[in-house]
Amino acid sequence: MPDIEINQESALVYSGGDKGLYLTILDVFRQEKDDNKQKLNAFLQAEDWNNYEIIVHALKGNALMVGCTAFSELSKSLEFACKDIMAGNEVEQKIQYVKTTHPQYLDFYDALAEKTKGIS
């Protein structure tokens, strides 16, 4: 897992420079984490690539609003792997990628949510 860097300046662009809105975004990011993780685990177990892709797509944008480009990029890689699976491109390789990356992704999500607690 890469070092977790949060760039508040870039994140504030998504909140129109409103620090209060940014702090609300961080709160919502943390509040939705457990539900999102549960859904991701269920979708992975069911090999429901469409719904898995929907969640990681949303998290890709959420990560940018939080200010963590690395988590956004990892989300993007999972999103595109799911799209490839659904399109029939390198299916077995992409399924293996999602399944092996998934635990690291959830750990990163936990660590990022925890790190946002220190922002005020």
58 closest CA partner among 36, 81, 87, 34: 36
Q: Which two tokens stand for residue 68?
A: 């963590």
For residue 4, the 8-state DSSP code is -
Q: How far apart, in whole angstroms, are the C-alpha atoms of residue 50 and residue 54?
A: 6
Phi and psi at residue 32, to the nearest 5°: -85, -10
Cβ contact 84:98 at 8 Å: no
Phi and psi at residue 117, to the nearest 5°: -65, -25
Whole-model pTM: value is 0.95
Could you read off the pLDDT tens digit of each residue along the chain, which spans 120 residues?
567 999 999 999 999 999 999 999 999 999 999 999 999 999 999 999 999 999 999 999 999 999 999 999 999 999 999 999 999 999 999 999 999 999 999 999 999 999 999 999
Q: How far apart, in whole angstroms, are the C-alpha atoms of residue 43 and residue 56?
A: 11
